[in-house]
Amino acid sequence: MRKIVLTFGLIAGGILSAMMLLTLPFSEQIGFDKLAIIGYTTMALAFLLIYFGVRSYRDATGGTISFGRAFLVGLGITAVASACYVATWEVIYYKLTPDFVENYAAHSLEKARAAGKSAEEIVTLTAQLARYQEMYKNPLVNIAITFLEPLPVGLVMTLVAAGVLRRRPTQTPAPA
C-alpha cells in the first residue's frame, strides 16, 4: 500500500506544485479570482489520481477492496499530495512572493469598495485582514491553513473513489 500511496500521491503533488509555481508568481496579472478557479480546478484534476491509485491497489490485491481500505488508500494519497502542496507554498511564500498576503488583502479591500460596502464594513474587513496577516506570519499557522486548502477536495475525491471502486469478494454458492 505504501508504494502505491507514495507513487500516486507524489504525482498528484507534483501536478499541484507545478501549477502553483506556474501561476502564483503572476497572481496580480492573472487576478486573484481567476487564480482561485485555476487552483481548485487543478486540485480536482490532480486528485483524480486518487481514483487510479485506489484502483491500482485493488487490482494488486486480488481485485477486491473494502470501502474502508479504499478510503485509507485515498486518504494517504491526499495527505502526500497535500504535503507537496504545502511544501511548495512555503517556498513560494517565503522566497518568491513574500508580499502575497498583503497583495491579497489589498485586492479584497478594493473588491469590497467596488461592491459598494459601507465604511463600517470596510473597517471590519480591514481589521479581519490585518488579523489574518498577523496569523499568517506564524509558520505553523501558515502550514495548517495551507494544508486545509486542498484537503476538502481530496476528501471528496477519496469518498467518491472508495464508493465507486469497493468490491467485495465474490461468494461461491454453498453445495446443495
Cα 93 from Cα 145, distance rounded (Å): 13
Residue 158 has pLDDT above 90, yes or no: yes
- Give tens-digit pLDDT for 64-105: 999 999 999 999 999 999 999 999 999 998 898 888 888 888
Q: Is 134 in contact with 126 (CB distance < 8 Å)?
A: no
Domain boundaries defined on the chain: 2-165
Residue 53 has pLDDT above 90, yes or no: yes
Beta strands in 38-115 (DSSP E): none
Cα 156 from Cα 153, distance rounded (Å): 5
- Containing H/E element for 54? helix 48-60
What is the number of alpha carbons within 13 Å of residue 49 lying toward its C-beta? Answer: 24
Question: Which residue did the predictor score with more confidence, 49 or 112?
Answer: 49
